[in-house]
Structure 1
Amino acid sequence: MNYPATAEQKHRVFIIYSAYLRVQFRQSAVLAVSVRNKNYNLVRADLHDILPQKNTTVFKDGTLAPLLIRLAWHSCATYDKYTHTGGSNGATMRYHLEASDEGNVGLEVARLSLEPVKRKHPWITYADLWILAGIVSIESCNGPTIKWRDGRVDYEDDLRVPLTDDYPSEEATHLTYGPSSLGWYVNSTGQVMMPSDMSLIEDANFRFWVDQYAASEELWREHFALAFEKLTELGRN
């Protein structure tokens, strides 16, 4: 049974609601100021700060860089050129459907490691942050400078989680394959090779680029920067 609210009860509700509106207004004002004053150089600096890792049991290289590069690569490689879906837009790996894919195992560590940067710069989207983190990580490993543009948005649900990927060029495949194995530095003896490694040698189209880049690191750096830039643009608005 509903009873008429007393004047005192109405006053309490008014006070509580007024306090709620003040908090919401302050949060909106802070975010609005942040967006107006967005500075990607500050984001870059904070990304550099989180890269070194003392826990060498988990991060054997002492850095988050390989994992963040892998996060950027996996975020982009879902692009489907026929349906124009997937790619770096949306940050859909936040949702279980994509995060639970066996190819994305371990990337929750990368995503969580970026949360402090996201909290400090709430105006940047996850989609932009993940790609920028990958680019900063490449540069921190003495890699080439890669052009980067913002403008990616975060999807609010999992309805557009990509189900396929496509990146057909042999040259681009060879160039962007590296981030998946960055950090592996043990020069093992013997002839054991992964099937993906063997294809680079045995396939004539791949082998051509293997020989080209083996002969010229400068050429590899130039082409890698262009290929990775193209990769990060897949799906960007």
Structure 2
Amino acid sequence: MSTANRFVPLASRAVFSRRVMLGLVGSAGVLGVAADLHQRRDGYRGGNGNGNGRSTGKLWTPLVAGAPIAHLAQVDKKYGESDYQAVYNAIAEKLRDEDEYDNYIGYGPVLLRLSWHCSGTWDKKDNTGGSFGGTYRFQKESNDPSNNGLENAAHFLEPIKKQFPWISYGDLYTLGGVTAVQELQGPKIAWRPGRVDMPEDTTPDNGRLPDADNGASYVRNFFDRMNFNDREVVALMGGHALGKTHLANSGYEGPWGAATNTFTNEFYNNLLNEHWTLEKNEANNEQYNSPKGYMMLKTDMALVQDDKYLPIVKEFAKDQNAFFKEYTNAFQKLLQNGITYSKDSPVFVFKTLDEQDL
């Protein structure tokens, strides 16, 4: 595979894929603008343990004749905030218990990356992909070269699924990312349930995740597919404060900074202040290296090479609160892209384990 086709995930402390995710994206409840290709409505409520959904026999129909079809969130009212907080707690406690993963970086970054990759396949043109259907559980998506290493996050979450079989995979994967951000000292992320495990034929085609070997024009066009503006793009890329790349899995090697398991604005400060040299690594791929042993991808450096991105990078480097505020909204948007929520659909903001210990 050529270097142009290698995806490298963004905020993953775990093993990375051939392509790097440019950042973590988000917004709440963006509607799709085209008919769902499979024309199903509330069928396929939840999957069984093998990830195979069961049809209720109802078909997807337009909300209004001739209008786009949207994925409608389905919230089981038997389960409330305390039930989802219990799922959050189980994930967070497992993060603490299994902290030796990846040389004590831990599972947080790879959980964040899983939630990004599950959501980052969304396309506003036809409302396909995204987090709604939990389709990462199928081999077509999980075996995408862009998802190399994410099996570690999926295996980490599988015991949680067995403990709470009522939660959909789409909800579990996205809640895992929210838990990782919050437990690694990042901002609070408002999260909404209601994703439905869809059948295998709704899995998006491979190739929708970003390519690390490109500049600012590519980055801007890529995120436009998911309705993100420049400010949101720069915020989402800040997730690269977490984790590191691994040569064997992504074709790139090294961390973006020193605090690989603490969510901060370090990524922006490193972009601005480190001395970067473009070099070829052992896989013959070009990456930017600093004397401290940090690395940046070409898509990362695009943020300081572009006149519109650069002022935002400088703002977030100076003001972590501004970064956290923008990231909160953008990441929530990413996780909810393409999903339609009713007016009474719940929104949860979970307490961290530390907050519950007070």
**TM-score using structure 1 length:** 0.78
CA separation in 2, counterparts of 1:180 and 1:126?
Answer: 25
1:48 corresponds to: 92
SS of the residue 2:102 aligns to: coil
- How large is the RMSD of aligned CA atoms in angstroms? 2.2
1:162 corresponds to: 204
1:65-76 equivalences in 2 (<5 Å):
65-76=108-119
1:52-104 per-position Cα deviation (integer Å, ceiling 9, x unaligned): 35573x42244211010000011111110111111111111111211111111
Which deviates more, 90-99 or 161-170?
161-170
Amino acid at match of 1:119: K
Q: Which protein shows a greater Rg?
A: 1
1:125 corresponds to: 168
Q: Does 1:148 align with 2:191?
A: yes
Q: Per-residue deviation at 1:174? A: 1.5
1:121-179 per-position Cα deviation (integer Å, ceiling 9, x unaligned): 1000010011011001100111000100001011122x111233653222222211233
Q: Per-residue deviation at 1:110? A: 0.3
Q: Is the 8 A contact 2:99 2:107 kept in 1?
A: no
SS of the residue 2:202 aligns to: coil
Q: Structure 2 vs 1, CA of residues 196 and 115 (structure 1 numbering), >3 Å: closer, same or farther? A: same
Amino acid at match of 2:312: W
SS of the residue 1:153 aligns to: coil
1:64 corresponds to: 107
CA separation in 2, counterparts of 1:231 and 1:201?
Answer: 23
1:213-232 per-position Cα deviation (integer Å, ceiling 9, x unaligned): 11211111111101111111
Q: Percent identity?
A: 31
1:1-237 equivalences in 2 (<5 Å):
36-37=78-79, 39-52=83-96, 54=98, 56=100, 58-157=101-200, 159-163=201-205, 164=208, 166-168=222-224, 169-180=229-240, 182-183=242-243, 184=255, 185-186=257-258, 190-192=275-277, 193=288, 194-237=297-340
**TM-score using structure 2 length:** 0.53
The structure carrying a bigger helix percent of its residues is 1
Amino acid at match of 2:107: L
Which structure 1 residue ranges, 4+ long, deviate > 6 Å from structure 2? none
SS of the residue 1:212 aligns to: helix
Q: Per-residue deviation at 1:208? A: 2.0
CA separation in 1, counterparts of 2:106 and 2:152?
Answer: 12
Flag the structure with more relative contact order, 1 or 2, with Cα contacts below 8 A and sequence separation at least 6. Answer: 2
Structure 1 residues not aligned, in runs of 5+:
1-33
Amino acid at match of 1:172: E
Q: Per-residue deviation at 1:35? A: 7.6
The structure carrying a bigger strand percent of its residues is 2
Structure 2 residues not aligned, in runs of 5+:
1-75, 210-221, 244-254, 260-269, 278-287, 289-296, 341-358
Aligned residues: 202
Q: Is the 8 A contact 2:124 2:338 kept in 1?
A: no
Q: Is the 8 A contact 2:99 2:106 kept in 1?
A: no
CA separation in 2, counterparts of 1:84 and 1:233?
Answer: 12
Amino acid at match of 1:44: Y
CA separation in 2, counterparts of 1:208 and 1:106?
Answer: 33
